Structure 1
Amino acid sequence: MKIRQLFKKNIAREIKGVIKVGQEAENDVRQELDEYVVTDELLGHFVYFFKQYLKSLDVPTDQMGVWISGFFGSGKSHFLKILSYLLDSNLEVDGKKAVEFFREKIEDQALLDQMQQVADAPSDIILFNTPSKSEDDNGDSKLSIVKVFNKVFNEKLGYSASIPWVAQMEEILDQNGQYTPFKQVFQEKSDLAWEDAREEIYYNEDMIVETLVEVANMSEESARRWIDNGEESYEISVDSFAKRIKKYVDKQPADYHLVFLADEMGQFVSDDVHRMLDLQTIVEDLGKYTLGKVWVIVTSQQDIDELEKDIHSSQDFSKIQGRFNTRLSLSSANADEVIKKRLLEKNDTGNDAVQLLYTSEVQASLRNKINFSDGTISLKKYDSLKDFSEFYPMIPYQLDLLQQVFTKIRENSSAGKHFASGERNLLGAVQYAALEYAEKDLGILVPFQTFYGHLDQGLDHSVRATIIKAQSTPTLQSFDVDVLKVLYLIRYLKSVPSTVENITTLMLDELDADRLKLTENITAALDRLTKEYLVQRTGLEYLFLTNEEQDINREINHMDIPTSKMQSYIGEMIYDTVLEMKKYKYVPFAEKKTVAYDFDCAKWIDESARGNATAEIGIHVVTPYSDDYRNRETLQQLSTRENRLVIALGDSGTFYDDTMMLLKINEYLRNQSSKQNSGMKREIIDRKSNERNDLMKSVERQVRETVQNATYYINGSEVSLAGNPTTKVDQGLHDVVENMYLKIKYINKFYDRDDFNGVISQGQINFLHDNSDDPNRLATDALEQYVKQHTERKMITSLFEIVQVFGKAPYGWREDDILVSLIRLLKDEKIQFKSSGNTMNIHDAMFPRTIKQNPSQAKIMVEKRKVIGEELIRNAKTIAKEMYGKNLVSEKEDDLKEETMRLFVGTQKTMVNLLDEYRHRSYPGEKEIESLLQTLKEILKYQDADQFFRCLYDKRDELLDLYDDIQPVQSFFESQKPVFDTSFKLRKRYEIDKDLLQTSEAKEAGNRISEILAMSMPYDFIKELPDLNMQYEQALIAELDKESEPLLEVIQQKVATLEDTITAMETVRAKFEPVIKERFTLLKNKILSAETLTDLFSYRSQIDHLTQLLSTQINDFISEIQLKPISPMPPISPLPPIDGGGGPIVVDPVTPITKTPEFVHKNKLIPLNYEKIETEEELNDLLAVIHSELEKVLEQGKTIRFI
C-alpha cells in the first residue's frame, strides 16, 4: 500500500495558506470553511468570544478589544480569518452564511444560535495584515497605527488608500452627493477611470480641477487651491479618526457593527512604544465614541502580558491591558489537531493498515530508536497506537519542532518576511513532506530533512548556496546533503543540540532502520562536510555554515596560536573555572569542621607555574604536550620531590582540538574588533562571538571530564580517587598535606582572637591547671620539648623562630594556635618570655598585641623557666604575713609573685599619696616615706619571678625596718594631722608677734609649740599641742583686746572731729558724712578681727592715713565751693525808735563774715628734717615755722581745726 492511499482526503489537493487579502474567491472561502477544524481549544475560544461580542448588540460597552495570541504556526491568523467570515453579515457562499458550515463541526446549539444572531446583524468587516498596510518606512512611528486604520477604512469605503487627503476630498464629495457624478464626468473628460487616475493626481490636476468646477460648482481658483493645498492642510489624529468612525456608524442601522481584524499587530507594535500607545488610544477612543459598535480584533505571537517589558511605564501597560479585555491564546496542541484532521486523517483502509504496522516489536524498536541526547528538550514520541495512527508517516515531535524551526528562521534571517506573510506555513510544510513520500510503501518514516524542500525557495541565498555547493562537490554524497539540510533546520534551535545522536534520530526514515548503521553513515558524512568547511564542529555539536561563514572559518583555521598559549589556557580553565582554587582548605578531622587550614598552593601546568610557585604544597597538571607526559616514573618522582598532586590528563577525545579552536576564534575576533566590516560579515562575526561562548562552555565541560578521568600521583604512587574533579583534587591535596605535615593533627582546636585573649586573661587560669583539659596538648608538649632542648643546649630561641618552625612541615600549625600553647606553658611556669633581658608579664595589657607582631616576636626570647628555691618562696610569704597580715596560699610562682607585687603596689600608691601632702606643709616622716618608696621601686622593677624573689630576700630586713618606721607616719596622717595643722598656723602667728608679746603665758605657749613642730619625730609630743594651742590663743586674745582699746578711741575721736567740722555746711556734710562712717567702720572691724599684734599695730598708721586723706578731700571741696560768687544781702529796714529816742534807728548793712575751717594735721606741723632739738635757738626756729604755717591759715580767714 502506498502512503498516498492512507489519507481520507486527497493529499495533493490545493490548500491555501494563512490570510491573504485579495484571495477571497468563493471557492477558496468554501474550502476554508469546509475544511476548518474546530478543536476543543478553538471551541472554547468561540464560546468565549461570541459571548463577549453579543453583549455589545444589546448593551453599550467600551470593552471591544480582542487580543489573539499564539506562536508561529498555531493557527491564530486562520482563526482570525474564520472569525471575519462568521462576523460578516454580507458574506454568503453557495447562498449560505458562514455559520452554516459549522453546524456539523459544533454540537453546542447555544453557540450556533449566537453565531447566527451575529451573522444576521448588519456589519462591515475590515480584515488586513498590519505590516503590509503600514507605510512607516521613515522611522517615524507616531500615529503609524491610526494611519493604517484610516487607510483600510478608506479602502472599505472605496476611497483612495494611498493618499489620505484625496480620500478626504472624496468623502466630502460623497457626503454632498457629488462623488458618483464626479467620477462619471471625470471619466468622460479624461477617458480614465477615477480609481486609476487618482494615484497620479498632480499629473491629472487640470482635468480634476475642471471636473470639480463643473460638478461641485466651485470656481477654478478654489478648486485648484483645494488640490494644491490638500496634502499640506490634511491632518489626522486618533481623536479625529474615532469621531469620523462614529459619524459613519451613526448613519447605519441601530444594530450595525464595524469590525477591524488586524493580523500580526503584536509583531508590529511589540518593539515600539509609540505604536503600542497609539493602538491603545485608538481602541480606547473607538470604545468611548461608539460604545461597542466598533470592534478591534488583533493577533500577536506574544501574550499581551509579555509586552510589559517593552513598555516604559507600568501605568501605560495597564492602560493597554485594559483596552483588550477579551484575550484568546492558541497553543501547539491546536496546530497538531488541525494538521491531523486536515491532512493526516486516514480512511478506514489506511487506518487498518497503519494499525497493523504498530506491533509490539515496532513499539519497542521505536522507543530505542527515537532518542535524543542530553540537553534536548522533551519531544513527543509515539505514546500509543492512537498516536501512531494519527501521526504516521510523521513522528509527533516533528510538528512541534517544525514550528520552532519556522519561528527561528523568521527571527534569524532575511527570509523571515516570507514566513511572516504566510508564504510558508506549517500546514503546507507537512503537506509537502507527505507528497514527497506519497509513492513510498508503508513502513517508511518521513525524515526531518524532507521539510527543507518546502522552505528552500524562501531561504537566504547564502543558505541555498551552501546546499547547492554541497550538491555539486564531487567528494560529497547525496546523503551528506541530507545531513547538511538537517543541520540547517535545527541550526538556531538551542533546545535541540546538533549532536550525532540527535541528527540520527531526526533522519530515521524507516520503522526498521538500523540506527547503528545510520549513525556511522552520519558520522562519516559530518567528517566529509567538515573537511569541505560546510560544517563546523563545536564540541559534540555540528554547525551548518553559509558561504560567508565558510570563508571566515578558513581565516580562523589559519590563525597561528602557540601550543604554550593553549597549555596556559587549559591551566587557567582547570585552576580558575573547574577547581576555582585560590587556596586549599585542609580539614584534618571530619567531625571538626571548624579546624580547617588554608594552604597556599603552587599551581603548575606542564613546565609553567601559575601564580605562587614556591608554596610548600601544590598541584602539577601534565598535558600530552609536556616532555614528561609519557614517562610514568618521572611523574611519580615529581609528586614526591615537589610535594605535589600530579594530574596527568588524558589525550583522547576532542578536548585539545576544541581548546585550540576556541583560542583561534578568540584571536580572530580580537583582530576583527578594530575593523569596519560589511553588514553580512558583521552579523557572522557576531554569531562567531556567540559560538565562541558556546564553545567555551563545551571546553569547560570537557576539561571537567578530562580532570575527572585523569591519572593522579601522590608521594610517588598512582592513586585512585573518587568523586567529581573538585572532590578528587581535595582528596588528593588532603593526602599530600598529611604526607608532608605529619604532626598537623596535634592541633585539635582552633583559637580565634577572642579565645586567645581569654586564655591569657586571669579569668582563664583554672582552665590550664590540668594538662588533660588542653585539646592541643600534643602540640603543647612538642613546644615544651623544643624550648627545653634549646635552653639546655644554651641555644637562643626567639618567638619568631618558634612560630616559623612550627608553621612549616612537619607541623604546619597556625600562629594563634602556637601562641596559645606557649601561653599555656607560660602559665604553667614551664617557659618564660624575655624582651631586652626582662621577663615579660603575661598580664601586661600590651602582652597579647606584642606577641602577635612579627618585629616584636624577633626580639622576644623563649627559654625554659628556672625553678625558684623554697627559701625564697617562704621569705615572700613571711613578709606578706608580717607586713600585711596576709597568708599567701598560691602554689604557682607567678601567681605568688603577682599577689605579692599587688600588695607592694598598694603600699606604693598609699605612700605616693601621702607624699603629696608634703607639697603643702612640712610634716614629719617625709624621709621615711621616700626611703620606703625607693626600696619598693627596686623590688618591683623585676618582672622575672626568680629575680623578684631574690631581691625581696636580699632586702627583707631593710623592707621590714622601713615598714616599722612608716607606721607612726601613717598613724600621724590618720589621726594627728588636724591638731598639727592647727598648731602650725598658731606657730606662724607666734613667729610674727614674738617680740611684741607682753604676757609670759603667751610667750611660753608659743615657744613650746615651735619646739614640738620642729622635732623630726614629734609623734609622742603632739598630745601636748591641744592645751598649748588653747593657752596661746587665750593669752593672745587678751593682749589684742588690750591694745585695740586706745585705737578704737582714736577712731571715735577722729570721726567726731571730722563730722563736727562738716555739720555746718550741708553740701559738705551730705557728701562726706557717709564716706567717713563707711571708711572708719571698715577700719574698726579690722582692728576688732586682728589675729596678731603686728596687724593690730599697723592699723595705727592706717587711722592717721585715712584721717589725712579725708581731711584733705574736705578742705579741697570747701575751697572749690568758696570760689563761687555769693549774692549780696538785701537792705535792712529801719528799726523802730527806742523809747525816749528821737526817731528810728537806721542800721547800715553788714556783710556777713563766714569763716571756713581748715584741717591741720598735728603730725605734719613739724617738718621732716627736724629730728631733734638741742638748743633754745633750734626750739625758737621750730616754733617760728609752726607759727608761720598756722598764721597763713588765719590770714585766709579760716578757722584752724587740728586733727
Structure 2
Amino acid sequence: ALRDRFEKKGDIINNQLAFVGNSVTMKSYKDAAEFVACYPFAPYQFTLLQKIFESIRKVGTTGKHLSKGERSLLDAFQSAAVRNADRGIDALVPLYDFYPSIESFIDTTAKRSIDEAPGNAALDPYDADLLKAMFLIRYIPDIVKPNIDNLATLCVNEIDADKLALKRRIQESLARLEKQRLVSRNGDLWFFLTNEERDVAREIGHVEVSANEKWRLLSELVYDDILGGQTKVRHKLTKADYEFNRLLDGAPWKNASHPLSLEIATPLGDDYELLSEARCILRSSESGGRALIRTAEGDRLDIELSLYLQIEKYIDSPKASTAAASLKRILSDRKDENRERRHRILAQLGDLMLSGDFYALGQKLQIKAASPRTMLDELVNYLIANTYTKLPYLKQRQADPIAEIRAVLASATIGQQGLGLDGEEGNPLAIKELRDYLQLKASAERLLLSDVVDRFTGIPWGWKPEWEVVLLVARLFMAGEIKLMCEGADLDPKSAGDPLTRSVRFRQVSILKKKIPQPESLKRARDLYKDMFAKISREDADGLVADYRAALGDWQGDLKGYGQTASARHHPGKGVIDAAIARIGKQLAIRDAFEFIETLLSAKSDWLDTSEDIHDVVSFYKTQLPTWRKLLEALSGFADNRDVLLKLPAVATALGDLESIRDNPTPYGQIPRVATLIKTVEAANETAAQQRRERALNSIDARIAEVMKSLDQVQAAAALRNKALQPLQELKTKVAALSSIPKILYFQHQGGDLLDDAMLIIESASQKRATVLEDSGGTTTGKVLTTAADTAAPKPSRVIRAAELSPTIYLETEAEVESYIAKLKSELLATIQAGQRVRIQ
C-alpha cells in the first residue's frame, strides 16, 4: 500500500517536504523503496534530529543527562512513531512530535514558555506545537532557516495537507506568539525565545520611541544612506550643480533654502493615505520647483523601524553596560540582528522608492531607474529643466568662469567687450535679460551685486554657478554700460578683480546704470569721428562708443607696433607716438558711455591735432620707412669722407640737406627729396674715394715691386715669396674695396710697415742659408750653389720718420730750416755708412 501510495503521490509527497534554501541537505524521498523504508518519517528528519540533539547539548539547555548517539535518536523516533500509530497511511510525522522524547531532559527554565503555552488564553493549542518545533530548530538556523515556508514543511502532518492553509495558520500563530514575546522576528525569519531572551524582548518592547525619532531615522536612511547624502544634482546639459531642499513626509531634513525641493512621502506620514494622485499633483505644484515621490506601501516598515530604535536604545542603556555575560551575548545577537535589520530596511526603502509614484511641477512622471540615485538624478534633472525656463539663455558656459572674469577685467581694450556682447559667445539673450533688469532697477538707485546674483541664480533663470552671472556683470562693466562701486569708491578693472571673484564681497559691490548722452552730443561726436577716422560711425550711443573704441584700439595697436622702431636713433615720431598712446589709453579707460563721449568732445581740438600727427606717423612707418633707412645708411657711409665732401660746394649743400632731414622731428614732407640728394653726394663721394684709392694702390704696388726685387735678388723659393708678399697683396685687395678715405690713407701708411716686415723676413731667411753653407764647409749635394755675389741678401733697412727729427711743428726761420736739414742729413749718412738702406716716412 505504501509503495502504491508513493507511485501515485510521490511528487506531491516530495513537494510537501521541500525546503527553501535547504534543497541539498534536507533530502526528500528518492523513490518508493526509500518511502517504504522510512515511512512515516521523512529522510531529512534522521539527519535533522541528530543536529538538533547536538545543538541542544552544546548550548546547555538540558538539565538531566541527554544520551548521545543512536540510543537518543532511536528513542525519539520510537516515541514519535507510537504517537502517530493510530493514524492512516497518509500521515506524516511533524517535527514537534519529537519534542516529548527530549522534554524530560530539558531544564525547567528553558522549557517554561512551552509548558505554560497551553494555559495561555491568548494562544491557540496549535501555538504550543509550533513553539515546540521552533525550540527544536532554535540553534541550527544554518541548517534550517526558520521562515514560514520551512516551518510549514517541518510541521506538515499529512500527505494531502493544504500547505497554503498551513502557512496561513502558522503565520497567524507566529503573530500571537510574537505578541506574547515567545518568538522574535528578524525579517522573514522567526526564532524561539528563551526565558532570558524573552525578558530582554519584553524590556525592549517597553522602550519608548517617539514619532520624531522614527522620522529622523527614516530621513537618515533615505537621504544619507540610500541617496548618499546628496544635496545637489548636476544638470546633464549645462554641467552645473543645482542644490535642492530635502523633505520627508512634509518636514525638512537638514534645513536649507534653495529654489528646488524634493519631498518623499512614506507610509509613516500622517497624510500618506490621503495622498491621492490629484493631491500629489497639487502638492508638487506648490512653492515653485518641487518634486514629490510617493513611495509604495511597505509591509512592517513602521514595526521594523520602531524595533530597530528600541533595540539601539536598549543596547545603549545603563543596564546593558553592566549586564552579565549571558545578557551580553543576547545583546550582541540583537546588535547583529539590528545590523541586518538596517540593511533590510534600506533595501526595502530603496524598492519602495523605485516602485513609487513620481510627480514634479504638477505633472505625474514616468521614471524608470535601476537605483534610487539614478532615479534622483532623473527626477531633479526634469525639475531643473522645467523650473528654470530661462536656463537656455545662457548657452555658452565657461570651464573656469572665475578665470574668465579676471581675463575680461584684464582686457587691454574695453571696446572689445562691447563688440562681443551681442555675439553667440557673449550670451546675448542672457545679456539682454540682465541689461533690462539693470535698466529698471539700477538707473535711479544702487543695486547690490548679491541681489543680482540671487535673482539670476533663482527661478526662472537658474544661471549657475553664480560666477556665470558675475561674468555677465563684468562684461557689461567692461562694455561701459554700468558703473561698479565698492564701499563708496568707483571700481576700475584692476580694482574690480577681488570683489568680483570673492562671493563674500558681493554685498559690498553696488551697480549703477550709466547716463545716456543727449542727441546733440551724439551728433557732435559722430562728426568728430568722421573727421578723425574719415568714415561714418553708428548713430546710437552704444554703437558710436564701440566704433570709437575699435578705431582708437586700432590706432593704439599700430602705434605700439611702431614705438620700438621709433625708439631707435634718428627715427622720427617717438614723442608723438608716446603722447598719442597715453591719450588713447586714458580715453579707452573710461567705461561710462556718457562720460566717454563728453570727454572726447571737451578735447575736440586736441583730438584733431592728435589725429593729424598719428596719420603722419603711421603713413611714415607704413610707406616711407624704407627710404628713411636708405637715408641713414647713406649718411653713415658718407661720414668718413665728410670733411672732404664739405670742401665741394654743391656736394656740401646736398649733404647738409640730408643731415637736416635726418635731424628734423617731422621730416615727412621732405622724404621725396632724399633719393636725389643721396645720388648727388654718392657720386662726389665715389669720385673722391677713387682718387685716393688709386694713389694708395700705386703706393702699395711700388712696395710690392720692391719686395719682389729683393726676393729675386736672393733667388727666394716659392714659400718665402708667398710669406713675404701675402700681407701686401691682401692689403691691396682690402684697399681696392674701400670708399672711406681715412681708411684708405691708414692702410696706405700700413703698406710701409708691411714692406719693412717683408724685408726682415727676406733678411732672416738669407742669414739662415748662409749659416748652413758655413756649417757644411762649402760643399753641396744634389744642386750647384750660386756665387756669393749673386745670392747676397739685401741690405738691412731703417725707417726714418722725418717729422720726428723736427723740434717744432712749424719751421719759421732759415736757421731752423738749416738745422733741420743738417740733422736729417746726419741721420741719413749715418745709416748709409752703417751699411743700411733708408726708407723715409
Give, in angstroms, the shift of residue 1160 of structure 1: 1.8
* Residue 1041 (structure 1) aligned to one of 690, 697, 718: 690
From the superposition, tell whether residues 856 and 1063 of structure 1 become closer, same or farther in structure 2 (CA, over 3 Å).
farther
Distance 1:971 1:705 in 2: 80
* Residue 906 (structure 1) aligned to one of 554, 561, 576: 554
From the superposition, tell whether residues 515 and 1028 of structure 1 become closer, same or farther in structure 2 (CA, over 3 Å).
closer
Give, in angstroms, the shift of residue 1002 of structure 1: 3.0
TM-score by length of 2: 0.66
Distance 2:789 2:474 in 1: 121
Give, in angstroms, the shift of residue 614 of structure 1: 8.9
From the superposition, tell whether residues 652 and 1194 of structure 1 become closer, same or farther in structure 2 (CA, over 3 Å).
closer
Give, in angstroms, the shift of residue 752 of structure 1: 7.5
Distance 2:587 2:819 in 1: 87
**Which residues in structure 2 correspond to 1:1172-1183 (within 5 Å)?**
1174=813, 1179=818, 1183=822
Aligned partner of 1:868 in structure 2 is 517
* SS of match in other structure, 2:644: coil
Aligned partner of 1:575 in structure 2 is 220
From the superposition, tell whether residues 570 and 424 of structure 1 become closer, same or farther in structure 2 (CA, over 3 Å).
farther
Give, in angstroms, the shift of residue 1053 of structure 1: 1.9
Give, in angstroms, the shift of residue 931 of structure 1: 4.3
Give, in angstroms, the shift of residue 865 of structure 1: 3.8
* SS of match in other structure, 2:512: strand
Aligned partner of 2:593 in structure 1 is 945
Aligned AA (2:391): K
Aligned partner of 1:598 in structure 2 is 243
Give, in angstroms, the shift of residue 1057 of structure 1: 2.1
CA-to-aligned-CA distance 1:44-96 (integer Å, 9 cap, x gap): xxxxxxxxxxxxxxxxxxxxxxxxxx9xx99xxxxxxxxxxxxxxxxxxxxxx
Kindly indicate whether the alpha-carbon contact (under 8 Å) linking 1:797 and 1:861 is maintained by their aligned counterparts in 2.
yes
* SS of match in other structure, 1:1091: coil
**Which residues in structure 2 correspond to 1:1052-1091 (within 5 Å)?**
1052-1065=701-714, 1072-1091=720-739
Aligned partner of 2:484 in structure 1 is 834
Aligned partner of 1:165 in structure 2 is none
- Does 1:803 find its partner at 2:456? no
* Residue 749 (structure 2) aligned to one of 1077, 1080, 1101: 1101
Aligned AA (2:799): H
Aligned partner of 2:96 in structure 1 is 449
Kindly indicate whether the alpha-carbon contact (under 8 Å) linking 2:204 and 2:311 is maintained by their aligned counterparts in 1.
no
Unaligned runs of 5+ in 1: 1-6, 12-35, 42-69, 75-299, 303-330, 345-393, 625-638, 709-722, 1132-1149
Kindly indicate whether the alpha-carbon contact (under 8 Å) linking 1:1160 and 1:1200 is maintained by their aligned counterparts in 2.
yes
* SS of match in other structure, 1:995: helix
Give, in angstroms, the shift of residue 910 of structure 1: 1.6
From the superposition, tell whether residues 693 and 838 of structure 1 become closer, same or farther in structure 2 (CA, over 3 Å).
closer
* SS of match in other structure, 2:558: helix
Distance 1:822 1:476 in 2: 82
Distance 1:1152 1:551 in 2: 148
Give, in angstroms, the shift of residue 1042 of structure 1: 2.2
Distance 1:979 1:10 in 2: 128
Give, in angstroms, the shift of residue 1159 of structure 1: 0.6
CA-to-aligned-CA distance 1:100-130 (integer Å, 9 cap, x gap): xxxxxxxxxxxxxxxxxxxxxxxxxxxxxxx
Kindly indicate whether the alpha-carbon contact (under 8 Å) linking 2:243 and 2:258 is maintained by their aligned counterparts in 1.
no
Kindly indicate whether the alpha-carbon contact (under 8 Å) linking 2:304 and 2:341 is maintained by their aligned counterparts in 1.
no
Give, in angstroms, the shift of residue 37 of structure 1: 9.6
Distance 2:636 2:816 in 1: 50
Q: Which has the larger radius of gyration?
A: 1
Give, in angstroms, the shift of residue 1157 of structure 1: 0.7
How many pairs were matched up? 741
* Residue 978 (structure 1) aligned to one of 620, 626, 649: 626
Farther-moved stretch of structure 1 (507-516 vs 960-969): 507-516
- Does 1:993 find its partner at 2:638? no
**Which residues in structure 2 correspond to 1:683-832 (within 5 Å)?**
690-696=336-342, 745=387, 747-749=389-391, 754-755=396-397, 765=422, 780=433, 788-789=440-441, 791-792=443-444, 794=445, 796-804=446-454, 815-816=464-465, 820=469, 823=472, 832=482
**Which residues in structure 2 correspond to 1:579-590 (within 5 Å)?**
580=226, 582-583=229-230
* Residue 656 (structure 1) aligned to one of 303, 306, 309: 306
Aligned AA (1:788): L
Give, in angstroms, the shift of residue 976 of structure 1: 3.6
From the superposition, tell whether residues 652 and 1185 of structure 1 become closer, same or farther in structure 2 (CA, over 3 Å).
closer
Aligned partner of 1:438 in structure 2 is 85
From the superposition, tell whether residues 1129 and 1179 of structure 1 become closer, same or farther in structure 2 (CA, over 3 Å).
farther
Give, in angstroms, the shift of residue 933 of structure 1: 3.2
Distance 2:37 2:532 in 1: 119
Kindly indicate whether the alpha-carbon contact (under 8 Å) linking 1:1002 and 1:1031 is maintained by their aligned counterparts in 2.
yes
Distance 2:471 2:807 in 1: 96
CA-to-aligned-CA distance 1:797-849 (integer Å, 9 cap, x gap): 331343247768x99956547955994997799962526666888xx9x9999
Farther-moved stretch of structure 1 (1150-1159 vs 949-958): 1150-1159
* SS of match in other structure, 2:516: coil
Aligned AA (1:1037): E
Kindly indicate whether the alpha-carbon contact (under 8 Å) linking 1:835 and 1:860 is maintained by their aligned counterparts in 2.
yes
Unaligned runs of 5+ in 2: 60-65, 269-285, 355-366, 409-416, 780-787
Distance 1:505 1:1055 in 2: 136
Distance 2:109 2:732 in 1: 135
Distance 2:817 2:438 in 1: 113
Aligned partner of 2:797 in structure 1 is 1159
CA-to-aligned-CA distance 1:395-444 (integer Å, 9 cap, x gap): xxx9598589569759967789x99998899x999987554222258999
* SS of match in other structure, 1:943: coil
Aligned partner of 2:652 in structure 1 is 1003
Kindly indicate whether the alpha-carbon contact (under 8 Å) linking 2:713 and 2:791 is maintained by their aligned counterparts in 1.
no
Give, in angstroms, the shift of residue 481 of structure 1: 5.0
From the superposition, tell whether residues 1169 and 791 of structure 1 become closer, same or farther in structure 2 (CA, over 3 Å).
same
Aligned partner of 1:335 in structure 2 is 30
Distance 2:427 2:763 in 1: 103
**Which residues in structure 2 correspond to 1:601-680 (within 5 Å)?**
601=246, 656-657=306-307, 659-665=309-315
Distance 2:562 2:167 in 1: 109
From the superposition, tell whether residues 490 and 917 of structure 1 become closer, same or farther in structure 2 (CA, over 3 Å).
same
* SS of match in other structure, 2:805: coil
Give, in angstroms, the shift of residue 1052 of structure 1: 1.8
TM-score by length of 1: 0.48
Distance 1:449 1:669 in 2: 36
CA-to-aligned-CA distance 1:710-757 (integer Å, 9 cap, x gap): xxxxxxxxxxxxx9xx99xx99xx99xx9xx9xx95755367794468
Aligned AA (2:135): Y
CA-to-aligned-CA distance 1:642-671 (integer Å, 9 cap, x gap): x9x9x9x99996853553234445789997
From the superposition, tell whether residues 1010 and 826 of structure 1 become closer, same or farther in structure 2 (CA, over 3 Å).
closer
Aligned AA (2:422): I
Give, in angstroms, the shift of residue 1034 of structure 1: 1.7
Give, in angstroms, the shift of residue 1075 of structure 1: 3.6
CA-to-aligned-CA distance 1:1116-1168 (integer Å, 9 cap, x gap): 6666777778248679xxxxxxxxxxxxxxxxxx9999675111224269636
Kindly indicate whether the alpha-carbon contact (under 8 Å) linking 1:430 and 1:451 is maintained by their aligned counterparts in 2.
yes
From the superposition, tell whether residues 423 and 895 of structure 1 become closer, same or farther in structure 2 (CA, over 3 Å).
farther
Aligned partner of 2:274 in structure 1 is none
Aligned AA (2:440): K
Kindly indicate whether the alpha-carbon contact (under 8 Å) linking 1:560 and 1:664 is maintained by their aligned counterparts in 2.
no
* SS of match in other structure, 2:774: coil
From the superposition, tell whether residues 564 and 983 of structure 1 become closer, same or farther in structure 2 (CA, over 3 Å).
same
Distance 1:466 1:887 in 2: 110
Aligned AA (1:954): S
Distance 2:802 2:24 in 1: 132
From the superposition, tell whether residues 975 and 814 of structure 1 become closer, same or farther in structure 2 (CA, over 3 Å).
closer
Higher RCO, Cα 8 Å, sep 6+? 1
Kindly indicate whether the alpha-carbon contact (under 8 Å) linking 1:1047 and 1:1100 is maintained by their aligned counterparts in 2.
yes
Kindly indicate whether the alpha-carbon contact (under 8 Å) linking 1:880 and 1:886 is maintained by their aligned counterparts in 2.
yes
Kindly indicate whether the alpha-carbon contact (under 8 Å) linking 1:838 and 1:943 is maintained by their aligned counterparts in 2.
no
